[in-house]
């Protein structure tokens, strides 16, 4: 018996890696990774390719190091929007062959780029605890008004999103935010507005923190990635989102240049871009599909939580990745100087 | 050996030579035994530091991508728009780049000097060759075509950045790390007030490290003293209590502090329950939380050297001082404490130098005003992908540490001893 087991184990050990192809897919972990596993990895494995999921925290430096040393071990990577354009320009990613992925016209316009295809639409919004605050903030001006709403505010450590929110709170129209921010006076105005709120801000670093702040009562309201609120509410919490003035953005699939499993990686991306897979994903976490045909497969309840639904996106701002690719370094440095004042 | 000694030496000089040779061989053998370690140190320690220092002054992007443009800008007085030849050279340089990755590297480099240069360079690169131009088009017409493509090429700032970075080496990263920069003509000046960040960050880094060191000393000194007065057995058990957290992962300890210190956490609940406070204290995501957690993590580094030095101080000295008429407290401070200076110095230096490089603890427990230099090194490495800047900040940290060590040696007039 023992011997047969051993033989079986040996046979399995030697033959499996030879039979099954394997790709390594990198994601951001957390609730998002679980939803991806259900909607993308597990169904894709049924087609015969094993998916090894690895988490990272968006460090493009890791991809750069792999590509430069020509030791690429990652096949598909989920990246944030500023990194798609930058990495594509600097030759870190493979150019995508859309004939193998799907019909470009089916996707949101922003989801189709030279090196990356959109995975989902997510939004940074304001949220509050429905159990502790009956009438929540309606606008960013409310969020910045500590007289009207007492208590601390959670905000992400860094300039990104916060300077946009500050301008909206200062009365800049959604459509003009990036136009104003591009000027020296606009940036001054944003930081001046942030200074007003500074004593009341409790900063967060990881996406999992703001829902915890709300549940623990550390803050009265916070900026947060909308999917995290959805995940907390699935665990029985009563957190509420105000969609007005939220900043929506896409995450993208890219293939690092020189990936040894490029074909399988493309097949995976094509699979994850189908309406069925994307609809399944949206049911597991409240991030919007990039394939517009997936919307028809979702019911009203799921749609109501997505950043892409008409009601939620009416007063939303699209993240301007060209602006941040140009101005990001300068603004982040200014933020560091501002924080020290 | 004894045989050679017994026979009378034929020539004292020959003996001297033989002795010298034997000595040399012995030294060589000893040296060759340390060779693996030296090699290991060189490969894992010296070479990376050398590469880091080199990267902090390396500036190949513009020189590689735009050699003709840099040459054409050579005589330019860096005011107004540059000569038409520079525009022509730019289109030729960009068009002859072998790979879009080179344009990307150029765009990144220029963008860290002038925000906006990234989109300008990439858009121009992608638009080449310019419509209705050929190899025979005159420089003036090319200039007009480039300006028609993007009028920002008419602004001198982008050209100044190219002219300034034409050489392969640059002091810019190092200057930026101390809030200085070169202006368009190359003179060194301070950066605008709203961009002055690193000076304050460096001061903050030292400030936090100093506070942590003082707290560690204040807590560790009595504890280490108490340990030396206990019987060996009890002292060993207590020492294990000191060491167990020392062996636990930093992340685990940081997470534990979050649980303890949050506003609904154990510490606040206990204080409110005891009616010490009415409102929960803000212990987290500010300087307090960072200092508490760092002191906890670094405490063993202070206790161990103190304990080992205190163990070697004979308790009889203190007794002698008291029996000779000194007040116990005065005897402690004038007789005992001076004998532990070596331990205080070693512990304090160890804790201080470890604190300076702290990253995870302030990142997770602090606000933006509590981040130390390493946080920004990580940010430039991972997020901004500006490795020149990351290396310059690393060099700054290294230099600060070396200066500190030199000061320590000057003050204590001794080598670092770890007990």
For the segment B25-56, what is each residue's pLDDT rounded down to a tens digit? 999 998 899 999 999 999 999 999 999 999 99
Chain B residues with beta carbon closer than 8 angstroms to that of A62: 382
| Whether residue B368 is found in the same domain as residue B405 | yes
Residue B5's pLDDT is: 53
Cα gap B36→B412, rounded to integer Å = 33
Query: Are B143 and B14 found together in one domain?
Result: no
Does the CB of A302 have a partner CB in chain B at under 8 Å? no
Same domain, A114 and A127: no
In a domain, B33, yes or no: yes
**Residue B75: pLDDT band with limits 50, 70, 90:** confident
Q: What is the pLDDT of residue A15?
A: 45
- Helices then strands (H, E): number in chain B? 23, 2
Nearest residue in chain B measured CA to CA from A187 = B194
Residue in A86, A157, A337 nearest the CB of B194: A337
Q: Are residues B45 and B72 in the same domain?
A: no
Domain count for chain A, please give it: 2
Overall number of domains in chain B: 3
Whether residue A221 is found in the same domain as residue A94: no
CB pairs under 8 A between A and B: 110
Cα(A326)–Cα(B379) distance, integer angstroms = 17
- Mean pLDDT, residues B72-100 taken together: 90
Contacts of A204 in chain B (CB under 8 A): 285
- The C-alpha of B317 sits at a distance from chain A's nearest C-alpha, in angstroms, of 50
CB contact under 8 A, B108 and A64: no
Query: Are residues B80 and B126 both part of a single domain?
Result: yes
Cα B120 to Cα A225, B110, B319, B383, distances in angstroms: 31, 10, 79, 21
Which residues in B lie closer than 8 A to residue A56 (C-beta atoms)? none
Distance CA B24, CA A268 (A): 66
The verdict on A220 and A319 lying in the same domain is: yes
Q: Are both A212 and A278 inside the same structural domain?
A: no
Query: Which residues 105-134 on chain A approach chain B with CB closer than 8 angstroms?
Result: none
Residue B192 lies in a domain: no
Contacts of B379 in chain A (CB under 8 A): 332
Are B15 and B128 part of one and the same domain? no
Of the two residues B184 and B213, the one the predictor is more confident about is B213
Are residues A216 and B262, on separate chains, in Cβ contact within 8 Å?
yes
| Measured distance CA(A134)–CA(A136) in Å, rounded | 6
CB half-sphere exposure, B97, CA atoms < 13 A? 32
CATH number for position B320: 1.10.3720.10
- Per the model's pLDDT, the better-predicted residue between B278 and A73 turns out to be A73
pLDDT of residue B174: 94
Q: Do B197 and A60 make contact, defined as CB atoms within 8 angstroms? A: no
d(CA B50, CA A194): 41
Q: Which of B136, B164, B192 corresponds to the end of one domain? A: B164
A209 and A112 within one domain? no
Q: Would you tell me how many other CB atoms lie within 10 Å of the CB of residue A148?
A: 10
CATH of the domain at A138: 3.40.190.10
Range of the domain at A9: 2-121+250-312
Mutate to test the interface with A, among B203, B368, B387 (most CBs of A within 10 A): B368
| DSSP helix, strand, coil percent of chain A (3-state; round to 5) | 50, 20, 30
Q: How far apart are CA A6 and CA A164, in angstroms?
A: 62
Q: What is the CA radius of gyration of chain A?
A: 22
Residues in B touching A115 (Cβ below 8 Å): none
CB contact under 8 A, B385 and A218: no
- B100 with A91: Cβ contact below 8 A: yes
Question: Same domain for B148 and B7?
Answer: no
Judge: B367–A335 Cβ closer than 8 Å, yes or no: no
pLDDT of residue A318: 94
Nearest-CA neighbor of A265 among A85, A62, A29, A100? A100
A53 burial (CB, 10 Å; 0-12 / 13-18 / 19+) is middle
Residues B233 and B157 in one domain: no
Average pLDDT (B245-262) is: 88
Taking CB atoms and an 8 Å limit, are B201 and A340 in contact across chains? Answer: yes
**Are A23 and A261 contacting, i.e. CB atoms less than 8 angstroms apart?**
yes
Q: What is the pLDDT along chain A (341 residues), one digit of tens a residue?
A: 455 545 554 444 444 444 468 999 999 988 889 999 999 999 999 999 999 999 998 889 999 999 999 999 999 999 999 889 889 999 999 999 999 999 999 999 999 999 999 999 999 999 999 999 989 999 999 999 999 999 999 999 999 999 999 999 999 999 999 999 999 999 999 999 999 999 999 999 888 889 999 998 889 999 999 999 999 999 999 999 999 999 999 999 999 999 999 999 999 999 999 999 999 999 999 999 999 999 999 999 999 999 998 889 889 999 998 899 899 999 999 999 999 87
Of A86, A92, A340, the CB nearest to B200: A340
Residues A54, A60, A65, A68: is their CA dihedral positive or negative? positive
**Burial of A233 (C-beta count, 10 Å sphere; 0-12/13-18/19+):** middle
Rounded-to-integer distance, Cα A48 and Cα B154, Å: 56
Asked whether residue B340 is domain-assigned, the answer is yes
Confidence at residue A16, expressed as pLDDT on a 0 to 100 scale: 46
- Which residue, A323, A259, A93, is CA-closest to B101? A93
What is the reported pTM? 0.85
How confident is the model at residue B264, as a pLDDT?
Answer: 80
ipTM > 0.85 for the complex: no
Residues A339, B382: C-beta atoms closer than 8 Å: no
Q: C-alpha angle B197/A162/B201, rounded to 5°? A: 15
Taking 80 as the threshold, does the pLDDT of residue B10 lie above it? no
Q: Judge contact between A47 and A271, C-beta under 8 A.
A: yes
Q: Is B372 found in the same domain as B265? A: yes
Contact at CB, A157 and B367, closer than 8 angstroms: yes
Same domain for B251 and B114: no
Instruction: Look up the domain containing B45 and give its range.
Output: 2-53
CA–CA gap between residue B19 and residue A94 (Å, rounded): 68
Q: Do A223 and A76 have their domain in common?
A: no
Q: Do B101 and A157 touch (CB under 8 A)?
A: no
Contact B194/A201, CB-based, under 8 Å? Answer: no
Contact call for A328 and B101, based on CB within 8 A: no
Does B383 reside within a domain?
Answer: yes
Contacts of A60 in chain B (CB under 8 A): 382-383, 385
A323 plus A202 within the same structural domain: yes
Contact list in B for residue A89 (CB cut-off 8 A) is 100-101, 103-104, 107-108, 118, 122
Q: Which residue has the tokens 């790390």?
A: B177
Residues B160 and B204 in one domain: no
Q: Please report the pLDDT score of residue B8 as a whole number.
A: 62
Question: How much is the pLDDT for B243?
Answer: 86
| A336 contact B CB<8A | yes
Residue-averaged pLDDT of chain B: 89
Same domain assignment for residues B23 and B83: no
Please compute the mean of the pLDDT values over residues B163-169 and round it to a whole number.
91
Residues B361 and B245 occupy one common structural domain? yes
Cα separation, B96 vs B226, in Å, equals 74
């Amino acid at each position: 018996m023992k011997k047969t087991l051993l033989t079986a184990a040996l046979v399995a050990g030697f033959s499996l890696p030879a039979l099954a192809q394997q790709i390594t897919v990198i994601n951001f972990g957390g609730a998002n990774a679980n939803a991806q596993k259900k909607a993308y990895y597990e169904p894709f494995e049924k087609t015969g390719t094993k998916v090894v999921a690895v988490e990272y925290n968006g460090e493009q430096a890791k991809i750069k190091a792999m590509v430069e040393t020509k030791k690429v071990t990652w096949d598909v990577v989920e990246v944030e929007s500023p990194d798609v354009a930058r990495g594509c320009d600097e030759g870190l990613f493979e150019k995508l062959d859309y004939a193998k992925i799907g019909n470009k016209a089916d996707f949101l316009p922003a989801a189709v780029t030279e090196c990356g295809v959109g995975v989902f639409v997510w939004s940074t919004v304001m949220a509050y605890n429905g159990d502790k605050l009956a009438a929540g903030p309606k606008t960013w001006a409310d969020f910045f008004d500590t007289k009207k709403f007492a208590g601390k505010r959670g905000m992400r450590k860094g300039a990104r999103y916060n300077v946009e929110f500050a301008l909206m709170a200062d009365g800049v129209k959604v459509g003009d935010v990036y136009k104003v921010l591009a000027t020296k006076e606009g940036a001054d105005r944003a930081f001046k507005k942030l200074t007003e709120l500074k004593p009341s801000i409790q900063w967060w670093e990881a996406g999992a923190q703001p829902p915890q702040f709300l549940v623990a009562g550390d803050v009265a309201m916070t900026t947060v990635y909308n999917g995290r609120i959805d995940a907390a509410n699935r665990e029985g919490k009563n957190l509420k989102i105000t969609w007005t003035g939220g900043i929506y953005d896409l995450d993208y699939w890219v293939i690092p240049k020189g990936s040894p499993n490029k074909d399988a990686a493309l097949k995976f991306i094509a699979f994850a871009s189908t309406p069925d897979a994307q609809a399944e994903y949206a049911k597991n976490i409240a991030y919007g599909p990039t394939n517009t045909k997936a919307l028809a497969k979702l019911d009203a309840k799921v749609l109501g939580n997505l950043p892409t639904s008409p009601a939620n996106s009416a007063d939303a701002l699209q993240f301007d990745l060209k602006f941040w690719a140009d101005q990001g370094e300068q603004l982040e440095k200014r933020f560091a100087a501002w924080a020290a004042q | 050996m004894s045989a050679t000694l017994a026979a009378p030496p034929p020539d004292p000089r020959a003996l001297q030579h033989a002795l010298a040779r034997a000595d040399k061989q012995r030294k060589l053998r000893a040296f060759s035994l340390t060779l693996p370690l030296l090699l290991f140190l060189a490969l894992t320690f010296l070479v990376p530091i050398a590469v880091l220092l080199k990267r902090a002054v390396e500036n190949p992007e513009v020189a590689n991508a735009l050699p003709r443009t840099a040459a054409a800008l050579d005589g330019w007085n860096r005011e107004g728009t540059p000569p038409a030849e520079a525009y022509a050279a730019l289109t030729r340089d960009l068009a002859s780049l072998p790979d879009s990755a080179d344009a990307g590297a150029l765009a990144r480099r220029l963008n860290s000097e002038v925000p906006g240069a990234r989109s300008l360079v990439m858009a121009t690169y992608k638009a080449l060759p310019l419509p209705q131009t050929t190899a025979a088009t005159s420089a003036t017409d090319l200039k007009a075509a480039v300006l028609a493509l993007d009028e920002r090429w008419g602004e001198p700032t982008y050209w100044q950045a190219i002219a300034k970075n034409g050489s392969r080496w640059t002091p810019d990263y190092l200057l930026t790390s101390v809030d200085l920069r070169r202006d368009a003509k190359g003179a060194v000046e301070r950066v605008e007030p709203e961009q002055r960040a690193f000076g304050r960050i460096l001061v903050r880094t030292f400030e936090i490290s100093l506070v942590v060191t003082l707290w560690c000393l204040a807590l560790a000194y009595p504890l280490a003293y108490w340990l030396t007065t206990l019987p060996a057995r009890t002292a060993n058990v207590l020492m294990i209590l000191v060491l167990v957290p020392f062996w636990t992962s930093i992340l685990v300890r940081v997470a534990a502090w979050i649980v303890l210190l949050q506003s609904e956490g154990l510490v606040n609940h206990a204080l409110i329950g005891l009616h010490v406070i009415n409102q929960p204290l803000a212990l987290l995501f500010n300087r307090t939380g960072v200092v508490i957690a760092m002191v906890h993590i670094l405490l063993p580094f202070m206790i161990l050297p103190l304990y080992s030095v205190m163990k070697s101080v004979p308790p009889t000295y203190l007794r002698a001082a008291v029996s000779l008429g000194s007040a116990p407290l005065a005897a402690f401070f004038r007789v005992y404490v001076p004998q532990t200076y070596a331990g205080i110095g070693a512990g304090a230096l160890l804790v201080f130098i470890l604190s300076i490089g702290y990253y995870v603890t302030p990142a997770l427990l602090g606000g933006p005003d509590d981040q130390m230099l390493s946080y920004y090194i990580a940010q430039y490495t991972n997020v901004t992908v500006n490795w020149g800047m990351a290396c310059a900040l690393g060099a700054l940290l290294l230099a600060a540490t070396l200066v500190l060590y030199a000061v320590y040696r000057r003050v204590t007039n001794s080598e670092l001893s770890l007990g």
